[in-house]
Amino acid sequence: MELFVFGEDKNYRVAGIDENAFGPIIGPMTVSGVVLQVPDDPTLYLDMRNMSLPRGLADSKKVFTRSKTSYSLGEITALSIVQLAYDRDASTIGELVDLIVDGGLSRIMVSPLLSSLDYDVNLPIWAKFVDEDPLRKWLTGMNIKLVDVKVEVISSTEFNEMLKALSSKLQLDFIKFFEVMERLSDFDIAMCGKIGGTKYYLPLFNLVGLDVEKVRESRSASVYRLHDGREIHFILDGDSKFLPIAMASIVGKYLRELFMHLINAKFGYESDIPWASGYRHDSKTYELLEKMKAKYPQSDVERRK
C-alpha cells in the first residue's frame, strides 16, 4: 500500500467504495461511496487497524448481525454519516433515498416492485433516536472531514437487464463502482473493496472507457493509476481495513436493509428486523419469493444467477 506518492502540506481526498448484496436472489443491490479528507498519507492515516474506533464503525457484516440491537447501532452510524456529509437529516426513507441516490426515488421507479413500496415510513426504524454528535466529535478529533456520500441502487429489474448485455456479475459490479465514483466529489485516491476476490481488473477498465496503468496485481491488493495521477486500489477485505470503505459499506448495507424491511412488510411479514434476508441460504427468502412471484413478473423480483 506504499505505492501512492504523497507530497507535503496537502489534504488528501479519499474515496471509499463498496457493494452490498452482491449475492442475494431478491431485493436490490447497493454500491456506495464515501469521500473523506485527511491531512496525511491515507493508506496509513485511514487504516482502521491503527485506530481506536467508536462503536458502529466496522465492517458492515459485523455491524448488522441479524438482531434489533445491531440494526439499531448500524442505523445510528449510517444516518450519522449521511447527516454529517449533507448537514441535514432525512426524516423518511424517501427523503434518505432522494438525498444520497442519484436521481432519487425516480431513479428506482423503473422497478414495479420498488415503485410500489411505502417510502413515507419515518426514520429511524430500529433506533430510538439518532445523535450524530459522537461521530462528529470522533472525526474532528482524528482530523478527518466527511465530504460526500453517494449510493447506487440496482433493482432486480436493472440487475437482470444489465446481465443480459454483460458476461458476468463481476462486470456489472465493476461498472456500478465507477458510476458511483463519477458521482462523488473529487478525490486523489479511491479505495475499493475487492469484487469477488478478483485479482486482475485491467481488462475491466475497458468497460468504463478508461486506459489505466497497472501498478500491482496481487491477492491482497490490485492497484491502478489513471493518467491524471490518481490511483484506484482494490483491497481484499477492504471494509475491515480502511475507514472510507467501511463507512461506505455501512451506508449501503443500511439502505439495502431498509428496502428489505419495506419489501417484507408489503407482503405481510412484520418483525423486528427484515423477516427474510433475500439470501439463498435463508429458507424464509423462498417463502417471500413465492408471494412476490404471484404478484410481479419473475424477471422483476428474482435475480438471474
- 138-194: per-residue pLDDT in tens? 999 999 999 999 999 999 999 999 999 999 999 999 999 999 999 999 999 999 999
- Buried b / exposed e over 233-244, threshold 16 CB at 10 Å, is bbbbebbbbbbb
Name the pTM for this structure: 0.95
CA dist 242 to 2, 25, 36, 69, 138, Å?
14, 28, 11, 24, 16
Give 6's pLDDT tier (boundaries 50, 70, 90).
low
pLDDT at res. 7: 54
Residue 233 pLDDT > 60: yes
197: alpha, beta or left, given left = phi > 0 and alpha = psi -120 to 50?
left
Find all residues with CB under 8 Å of 95, minimum gap 6, and list them: 123
The most distant pair of C-alpha atoms in the chain lies apart, rounded to whole Å, by: 61
- Buried b / exposed e over 63-76, threshold 16 CB at 10 Å, is bbeeeeebbbbbbb
Q: Which CATH class is domain 12-301?
A: alpha beta
Summarize pLDDT for 135-148 with one digit per residue, the tens: 999 999 999 999 99
Instruction: Give the Cα-Cα-Cα angle 282, 286, 288 (nearest 5 degrees).
Output: 105
Once rounded to an integer, what is the mean pLDDT over residues 85-108? 96
Give the chain's mean pLDDT. 94
